[in-house]
Amino acid sequence: MRVFVLGGDGYLGWPTALHLSRAGHEIAVLDNFARRRYDEEMGVESLVPIESLPTRVDAWREHTGRDVQSFVVDLADAEALYEVIREFAPEAIVHFAEQRSAPYSMIDRQHAVYTQHNNVLGTLNLLFAIQEIDPSIHLVKLGTMGEYGTPNIDIEEGWLDVTHKGRTDRVLYPKRPGSYYHLSKVHDSHNIEFACRTWGLRATDLNQGIVYGQQTPETAIDERLATRFDYDAIFGTVLNRFVIQAVLGEPLTVYGSGSQTRGIIDIRDTTECLRLSVEHPAEPGEFRVFNQMTESVTIAELAQVVRHASPSVVDIDWLENPRIEADAHHYQVTHRRLVEMGLDPHHLSETLISSMFPIVRRYQERVDRAALRPHVNWRRPANPVRATGSALAAAKIE
- Distance, in Å, from the CA atom of 159 to the CA atom of 172, rounded to the nearest integer, reads 5
Number of neighbours of residue 98 by Cβ within 10 angstroms: 24
CA distances from 169 to 187, 208, 282 (A): 21, 26, 21
* CB neighbour list of residue 288: distance below 8 Å, 6 or more residues apart: 158, 203, 204, 205, 282, 337
Interaction between residue 268 and ligand USQ (CB under 6 A)? no
CB of 212 to ligand USQ, least distance (A): 9
Interaction between residue 253 and ligand USQ (CB under 6 A)? yes
Interaction between residue 299 and ligand USQ (CB under 6 A)? yes
Interaction between residue 238 and ligand USQ (CB under 6 A)? yes
CB of 262 to ligand USQ, least distance (A): 5
Beta strands 261-266 and 202-208 are: unpaired
Catalytic choice (11, 16, 104, 185): 185
- Distance, in Å, from the CA atom of 270 to the CA atom of 268, rounded to the nearest integer, reads 5
**Which listed range, 5-13, 117-125, 202-210, 270-278, lies at the site for ligand USQ (CB under 6 A)?**
202-210
Torsion 340-14-222-46 (CA) sign = negative
98-101: list long-range contacts, CB under 8 Å, 24+ apart: 98/7, 98/122, 98/123, 98/142, 98/184, 98/185, 98/188, 99/34, 99/38, 99/181, 99/184, 99/391, 100/10, 100/181, 101/38, 101/181, 101/234, 101/235
DSSP 372: G
Let me know if 144 is a catalytic residue. yes
Interaction between residue 325 and ligand USQ (CB under 6 A)? yes
Interaction between residue 254 and ligand USQ (CB under 6 A)? yes
Mask of contacts with ligand USQ, 209-228, x by CB under 6 A?
xx------------------
* Among positions 11, 229, 255, 290, the unique one binding ligand USQ when judged by CB under 6 A: 255
Distance of CA 73 to the CA centre of its chain: 19
Interaction between residue 175 and ligand USQ (CB under 6 A)? no
- Distance, in Å, from the CA atom of 327 to the CA atom of 260, rounded to the nearest integer, reads 5
Catalytic choice (115, 123, 144, 261): 144
Let me know if 181 is a catalytic residue. yes
Mask of contacts with ligand USQ, 119-158, x by CB under 6 A?
-------------------------xxx------------
Number of neighbours of residue 5 by Cβ within 10 angstroms: 34
Count residues near ligand USQ (CB under 6 A).
23
* Among positions 100, 141, 275, 288, the unique one binding ligand USQ when judged by CB under 6 A: 100
Interaction between residue 262 and ligand USQ (CB under 6 A)? yes
CB of 194 to ligand USQ, least distance (A): 22
Catalytic choice (114, 148, 180, 181): 181
Q: Considering only residues 101-120, where is the footprint of ligand USQ by CB under 6 A?
A: 101-102
Q: Across-strand partners of 94?
A: 5, 140
Query: What φ, ψ does residue 226 adopt, rounded to 5°?
Result: -60, 145
Mask of contacts with ligand USQ, 304-323, x by CB under 6 A?
-----------------x-x
> What residues act catalytically?
144, 181, 185
Residues at the contact surface with ligand USQ, assessed by CB under 6 A: 100-102, 144-146, 182, 208-210, 237-238, 241, 253-255, 260, 262-263, 299, 321, 323, 325
